[in-house]
A and B are shown apart, each in its own frame.
Chain A
Amino acid sequence: MELISLKNVTKNTKIMLLKELGYDSDGEFVLDGQGKKVLDKYLEIPVSVNNMVILPGSTLILDDNELSLSKYLEEFGDVF
């Protein structure tokens, strides 16, 4: 699987990508289709556009941290 880094991508581009995937943003956080803040599935914290990862598995948007990514691997296996 190809891994595309969002680290050096402009915020506008990230928001465009989110919209293409059915999400949105208030400029800081990722929002779902209903305009609610998307929470990291494993930590239950709002995911910021600047620190998001978008992973396969019903389009999972997580905060970029070792705990959430480890949990993701536990649930979905080493898909990378």
Chain B
Amino acid sequence: MSSKDPIDSIASGVTKGVLDWSTDLVKSLAKKFRDRKLAFIQDNETIKLVREQYNSGELNFYKIYIVDKDLLFLVKLGLTLRKLEENLERRTNLRNKIFKKYELRGLHIAQFVENGILSRYTAILIDNLISIEDLKKKIANTLNDIEKYALFVQAKESDRAVIELARTKVFANSPDIFVISGISPASEIVKRCEVTITKLLTDYELERFSSGHKENLFYKRILK
């Protein structure tokens, strides 16, 4: 494939290696940019990934139930993190950026989506649906107060600390649903703690939701 137009060559990816553009080419590209005919990017994959999440079916589903724009944006970032599962460097970079801008709460909301928890959590809420408005309110409450409803286990934590933290959070907040989540090395900690935590949370029944290297435990309050 070849092209006589240098702009066409650049856009179609014909030109390889390190590029030095001529002054005329730079002026021509700048003019096209000002005419809003082109944009300068780094990596096509990043734009593609972001656009996919922008138009994804899962996001459109959440748009029905999540009204708050900031929460919805964090949901979108969670979906993006999930897509970056195989790219550790970019995933870590995005996690750091989320943490810097939205602090731990924002990162945990994104993680709640990344780990597939929000979809299962919503399904459990739908099982006991009173009204759409009630569902919206419960999802918003959960995301806004994520630390009351979820425990994200880190690989450096001891089993004892995880068990104590789970117990404290549940007894202090009495959530209808409480989630304990771990990825990769942390998933092993979650597995090891499951029996002890289940014995402690006598007012709850356990639903396990695992996939690959993720371990999510859903404790659902039992009506007595």
Q: Do A and B bind each other?
A: yes
Q: How far is the CA of A8 from the CA of B15 in the complex (A)?
A: 9
Across-interface contacts of B41 in A (CB, < 8 A):
3-6, 53, 55, 64
Across-interface contacts of B201 in A (CB, < 8 A):
none
Bin the interface of chain A by size.
35 or more
- B39 interfacial by beta-carbon distance below 8 Å: yes
CB atoms of A74 and B38 under 8 A apart: no
CB atoms of A64 and B30 under 8 A apart: no
Q: How far is the CA of A58 from the CA of B36 in the complex (A)?
A: 10
Q: How far is the CA of A80 from the CA of B37 in the complex (A)?
A: 10
State the majority secondary structure of interface residues on B: helix
Using A5-B44, A16-B26, A17-B26 as known contacts, say yes or no to A80 and B39 having CB atoms under 8 A apart.
yes
CB atoms of B54 and A4 under 8 A apart: no
Across-interface contacts of A67 in B (CB, < 8 A):
77, 94, 97-98, 101
Query: Nearest Cβ distance between residue A59 and chain B, in whole angstroms?
Result: 8
The B-contacting residues of A in range 50-80, CB under 8 angstroms, are: 51-56, 59, 64-71, 73-74, 78-80
Closest chain B residue to A3, Cβ basis: B41
- B47 interfacial by beta-carbon distance below 8 Å: yes
CB atoms of B43 and A64 under 8 A apart: yes
Chain A interface (Cβ < 8 Å from any Cβ of B): 1-10, 12-13, 16-17, 20-21, 42-43, 51-56, 59, 64-71, 73-74, 78-80
Chain B interface (Cβ < 8 Å from any Cβ of A): 7, 10-11, 13, 15-21, 23, 26-27, 29-30, 32-33, 36-44, 46-47, 49-51, 53-55, 69, 73, 76-77, 80, 84, 90, 93-94, 97-98, 100-101
